[in-house]
Structure 1
Amino acid sequence: MKVVAIVGSIRKDSYNKKLAEFVKKHNADKFDMEVLTLNDLPMYNQDNENDPPQSVVDFKAKVKAADAVLWVTPEYNGSIPGVLGNAIDWLSRVDQVMIGKPSWIMGASMGVLGTAKAQMHLRDILFSIGLSSPILIGNDVYIGAAHTKFDDSGNITEEGTVQFLDKIAGSFLEWMKHY
């Protein structure tokens, strides 16, 4: 199974990028995952949506080719980051590559609530007409105090968090059997 992880942060040392990379590495025997970053996506502009830049064409092609999308989002001002909203705008227009594509969501932050509000907003967005993505519900991953849970190599050091992520990956794989 091919999964793309879309990381909603462009920060070099993003905890969400570390989380996506950890999930990729930790589950390499269960699914093939590519972590996509949003650094090279230009701002969505309806004037060029029918002839987008190559970075957009490549991004959309990778999402289209995937069996599922793992959204890994930080929380900015109680919602998703602008760069993630921009990526979603590109995905929801013209060929609408997300329609019917299964999604699951997780996020990490330094705060105690993880990324609960951002994930709630992201769920609403993924249900919109241009996306219509079925979502793995009831398997929320809100990693709070992320700055205390990763070592310098990007490994999660808290065993309970690793076990929880294993459980969620198992739920995701079971859910995907229906697609």
Structure 2
Amino acid sequence: MTIPRIGIIVGSLRQGSFNRQLANAVAKLAGDRFAFGFIDIGDLPLYDQDDDADFPAAGLRFKQQVEECDALLFVTPEYNRSIPGVLKNAIDIGTRPGGSNSFAGKRGAIIGTSPGAHGTVSSQQHLRNVLAAVDVAVLPQPEIAVQFREGQIDADGEVADERLHKRLLLFLDRFEAWLG
């Protein structure tokens, strides 16, 4: 059986990103059931339709990496109750120029963490709406919107919080079954 290639797109560019920590922890926790690879969005220019005729190299690289994946894992923080602009920009680039939607027909999942009391509930809902518009089918449950707390993930990338560990294992089980 072929191991699914999962592209991880982290919606935060911050060096010490809580969401990158979560993404690394999930990849580690999954073991060898998925072949994870990070798809960088930090070098993408702001989308400008004027560039469609001579599409930027970083945009072409991003589109190719998305297309090479069997599925995607979006790991998003919550900024002002929505998704970060860099993540929305990446999705816009992935669907351009017109008629070349690299996301079309993909499956995906969304997780995220934020220090706010509700974690990333609002940003995940907004991201679901955006992904539906670009033809990405998103795993419906379980929703993993984590309120970030220091020490949940240790320095080695292990999930130290037992409750979070169980939730992430459930998520991985459901994601694997859904992709199957």
Matches of 1:49 and 1:119, distance apart in 2: 29
Task: From 86, 93, 98, give the equivalent of 2:96.
Answer: 93
Contact 1:10 1:37 in 2 (8 A): no
Matches of 2:108 and 2:78, distance apart in 1: 18
Contact 2:112 2:119 in 1 (8 A): yes
Cα drift, residue 36 of structure 1: 2.1
Q: Could you tell me which residue of structure 1 aligns to residue 11 of structure 2? A: 8
| Greater alpha carbon shift after TM alignment, 43-52 vs 69-78 | 43-52
Superposed CA RMSD in Å reads 1.2
| 1:108-144: CA deviation from partner (whole Å, max 9, x where unpaired) | 011221100000000011111xx11111002100110
Matches of 1:117 and 1:124, distance apart in 2: 11
Cα drift, residue 35 of structure 1: 1.6
Contact 1:108 1:146 in 2 (8 A): no
Identity %: 37
Q: Which residues of 2 match residues 30-179 of structure 1 at below 5 A? A: 30-94=33-97, 95-128=100-133, 131-177=134-180
Cα drift, residue 49 of structure 1: 2.3
Aligned partner of residue 137 in structure 2, secondary structure? coil
Question: What is the TM-score when the length of structure 1 is the normalising length?
Answer: 0.93
**Which structure 1 segments of 5+ residues have no match?**
none
Matches of 1:150 and 1:111, distance apart in 2: 17
Contact 2:41 2:90 in 1 (8 A): yes
Superposed structure 1 runs of 4+ greater than 3 Å apart: none
Aligned partner of residue 46 in structure 2, secondary structure? coil
Matches of 1:110 and 1:96, distance apart in 2: 33
* Aligned length in residues: 175
| 1:27-77: CA deviation from partner (whole Å, max 9, x where unpaired) | 131000012232111111111124222211111111101000100000000
Aligned partner of residue 150 in structure 2, secondary structure? helix
Contact 2:19 2:113 in 1 (8 A): yes
Cα drift, residue 14 of structure 1: 0.3
Contact 1:15 1:146 in 2 (8 A): no
Cα drift, residue 146 of structure 1: 3.5
